[in-house]
Amino acid sequence: MAKMHVKMNVNGAEVESLVEPRTLLIHHLRETLNLTGPHIGCDTTHCGACTIDMDGKSVKSCTVFAVQADGAMITTIEGMANPDGTLHALQEGFRMMHGLQCGFCTPGMIVRAHRLLKEIPNPTEDEIRFGIAGNLCRCTGYQNIVKAIQYAAAKLSGAPMQEAAE
Amino acid sequence: MSVIPAPFSYHRPKSIAEATALLAEHNDEARILAGGQSLIPMMKFRLAAPEHLVDVGAIAELKGIQRVGDALVIGAMTTQHELQLSKTATDAAPILKEASLLIADPQVRYMGTLGGNVANGDPGNDMPAVMMCLDAAYRIMGAAGPRTVKARDFYEGTYATALATGEILTAIEIPVPPAGHGYAYEKLKRKIGDYATAAAGVVLTTRGGRIATCAIALSNLADKAVLATDAAATLIGTALEKPALDKAIAAARAIMSPAADTRGTTEYRTAVGGVMVERALRRALARAKG
Ligand SMILES: Cc1cc2nc3c(=O)[nH]c(=O)nc-3n(C[C@H](O)[C@H](O)[C@H](O)COP(=O)(O)OP(=O)(O)OC[C@H]3O[C@@H](n4cnc5c(N)ncnc54)[C@H](O)[C@@H]3O)c2cc1C
Ligand code: FES
Ligand code: FES
């Protein structure tokens, strides 16, 4: 099938490419644009490791065609750090609160939590758990992921910061 | 297990007219792409391999939620996420938001559309039963012109619906239930992001605390969403007193035929199907005013 021309803004940069219509966005990001932060965990729309932000929505990029993202604004984990290179509050929260072990789910978790905090800046624990229900973690038991998101919510809303969990 | 879809040509029409023309041109070889949250997984497993994919995501006419007199009109491309945020929809028929929040997970709800959910024809979809409870009608457009089919007449079997090749479901028209109506959608699932082991929706009205009108519909308990007409009829004039309630649950179970699968045996799913009906009825009655 003829390749199609697509243009998207990925982490602030305009990128134009030719893609086969059947190319999934996750493959386009990982294999063409070399953005290997979003992971492929299940490839069946269940695990959320491939989550990216597309036009203000948390999306499983294994379940979107790259052609559907023509004209879209996309953020992956590679675009999360602050412009000065320091860690985003969520990245810092995951480090401080031990929100990761193997780290496989983390890029999806952080990008998803970013959209959650944009929509609900001060979520309750229940809202956090419901909000990240599309992201599976095989390691942490979620406890410290919830704490990491709470850390980021507090930091982003200007609260004085607590020390790291031990 | 392949997870790369078969090749296809991609089309992104800007209007319903352009989309129906494309569908007419490619006929059986074309498939509509909405939110893609059912179709793309099927294409990855090669359970579907359309040669032409008509993405209706750029058609502005298919978007939006409006109150038009006594009806709520929801564009087919409205996502679950947009539906949940719509005060117009929730004020008119709160069962929509209640059921929508029980579908899939946040990411799937950002992409998945109401039109796709009701047009898909998977008995595991939750919105068909909700639309049956509300007596919604589906607006359909094809090369031959527009028509309307009631949700209650739309489902024929697993992945078999009244939609003909080349037709697009454009909007869902819901007669707004009376103020003070009772409603509930009860869904048993193993975890968030799972289809129902058993689910039931109820919309009812009361007079003097007794049920005046009642609709009960079931999800994932047969080869399609089904309306439990006999069960509902036994409850008119009652306040869910024991003999009538038991009769209704038995009547609902009589039309259940869930497949044995990883969610349970036929017997188990039928048993909990009755429990979902009872819970939905009780919650709906408690919410009703009148
Ligand atoms: C992990 C996971 C869990 C899920 N859990 C649930 C659940 O609990 N409950 C539930 O109800 N659903 C569930 N789903 C399915 C989800 O809700 C889908 O979004 C929905 O079934 C289809 O909507 P869509 O917009 O994604 O449509 P698509 O996937 O794009 O299309 C589905 C089908 O409908 C057809 N179609 C779509 N729109 C139209 C239209 N306007 N006119 C005519 N035909 C059309 C397509 O051609 C296709 O055959 C789940 C999905 C996933 C991936
Ligand atoms: S890889 Fe996309 S959801 Fe698991
Ligand atoms: S940290 Fe290993 S999967 Fe989440």
User: Which ligand places an atom closest to the C-alpha of A135?
Assistant: 2
Summarize pLDDT for B201-233 with one digit per residue, the tens: 999 999 999 999 999 999 999 999 999 999 999
CA–CA distance from B2 to each of A26, A44, B46, B47, B210 (Å)?
Answer: 16, 11, 7, 10, 55
Quote the ipTM score.
0.95
Mutate to test the pocket of ligand 3, among A42, A98, A104, A143 (most ligand atoms within 8 A of CB): A104
Give ∠ CA B130-B100-A149 in degrees, rounded to 5.
Answer: 165
CA–CA distance from B108 to each of A144, A154, B172, B180, B260 (Å)?
Answer: 24, 28, 20, 32, 26
| Residues of chain B contacting residue A112, judged by C-beta atoms under 8 Å apart | 106-107
Domain ranges of chain B: 9-55, 62-175, 183-287
Q: How many angstroms separate the CA of residue B57 from the nearest CA in chain A? A: 8
Question: Would you say the CB of residue A102 lies under 6 angstroms from ligand 3?
Answer: yes
d(CA B238, CA B208): 10
Amino acid, res. B264: G
Q: What is the mean pLDDT of residues B193-198?
A: 96
Same fold, B9-55 and B183-287: no
CA of B41 to the centre of ligand 1 (A): 10
* Phi, psi of B103, rounded to the nearest 5 degrees: -90, 130
d(CA B19, CA A152): 45
Q: What is the mean pLDDT of residues B86-113?
A: 98
d(CA B151, CA B140): 12
Q: How many angstroms separate the CA of residue B179 from the nearest CA in chain A? A: 29
Topology (CATH level 3) of domain B183-287? Enolase-like; domain 1 (3.30.390)
User: Could you tell me the end-to-end alpha-carbon distance of chain A, in angstroms, rounded to an integer?
Assistant: 55
Burial of B38 (0-12, 13-18, 19+ CB in 10 A): buried
* Least CB–CB distance from B106: residue in A64, A65, A133: A133
| Residues of chain B contacting residue A119, judged by C-beta atoms under 8 Å apart | none
What is the DSSP secondary structure assignment for residue A159, as one 8-state letter? P
- Please count the other Cβ atoms lying within 10 Å of the Cβ belonging to residue B24: 15
Q: Does A118 touch chain B (CB under 8 A)?
A: no
Rounded to an integer, what is the distance from CA A42 to the centroid of its chain?
16
| CATH number of the structural domain B62-175 | 3.30.465.10
Mutation pick from B3, B9, B10, B39 vs chain A, by most beta carbons of A within 10 Å, is B10
pLDDT band, residue A129 (cuts 50/70/90): very high
Among chain A residues, the shortest Cα distance to B104 is held by A134
> Do B159 and B118 contact (CB within 8 A), yes or no?
no
Summarize pLDDT for B152-163 with one digit per residue, the tens: 999 999 999 999
For residue A166, is pLDDT > 50? no
pLDDT band, residue B191 (cuts 50/70/90): very high
Nearest CA-CA partner of A14 in A80, A65, A69, A62: A69
For residue A1, is pLDDT > 80? no
Q: What is the mean pLDDT of residues A16-21?
A: 97
For residue B280, is pLDDT > 70? yes
pLDDT band, residue B189 (cuts 50/70/90): very high
**pTM for the whole structure:** 0.97
Q: What is the mean pLDDT of residues B253-278?
A: 98
* Number of A–B residue contacts, CB under 8 Å: 84
Q: Does CATH number 3.30.43.10 belong to domain B9-55?
A: yes
CB atoms B105 and A134 under 8 Å = yes
- Give me the pLDDT at residue A139, please: 97
* Phi, psi of A3, rounded to the nearest 5 degrees: -75, 155
Mutate to test the pocket of ligand 2, among A58, A60, A111 (most ligand atoms within 8 A of CB): A60
pLDDT band, residue A162 (cuts 50/70/90): low
* Phi, psi of B21, rounded to the nearest 5 degrees: -65, -45
